[in-house]
Structure 1
């Protein structure tokens, strides 16, 4: 049986934002651990893309964009 919190979209968006935040932080931490410039760039680009996704989840939660109203 599905609980009420499982039915609340904000429950899921918060969990996804937290996971994205963990991955963003991990990518940024690993930039200093590698020497290859292309890999550093890929990690930074990936973190930036995930930040955009995290922002989209936040906008969905707060209904701050017209697409989510």
Structure 2
């Protein structure tokens, strides 16, 4: 049976945000390691997309967007 923590969506959104931030940082670090402009563009774009996911998870947690607010 799932624990209280496992049932709390914030527990999972926080774990995913942490993992996504690590991946985003890794992508940005690697941009500086390779001279290929297309590689740099792909990795920087990927980091930006992941930033959007991090924001979406945060907005869900804080209910900043109307899509994440409970209907009355």
Q: Give the shorter-chain TM-score range.
A: over 0.9
SS, match of residue 34 in structure 2: coil
Asked whether 1:4 is paired with 2:15, we answer no
When the two chains are superposed, the root-mean-square deviation of aligned CA atoms in Å is 0.4
Question: Runs of 5+ in structure 1 lacking a partner?
Answer: none
What does residue 25 of structure 1 align with? Answer: 25
Map of 2:64 onto structure 1: 64
Name structure 2 gaps, 5 residues minimum.
none
TM-score normalised according to structure 1 size: 0.98
Superposed CA deviations along residues 24-44 of structure 1, whole A, max 9, x for unmatched, are: 000000000011100000000
Residue aligning to 1:36? 36
Q: Which runs of structure 1 show a deviation greater than 3 angstroms over 4 or more consecutive aligned residues?
A: none
- Structure 2 distance, partners of 1:65, 1:44, is 26
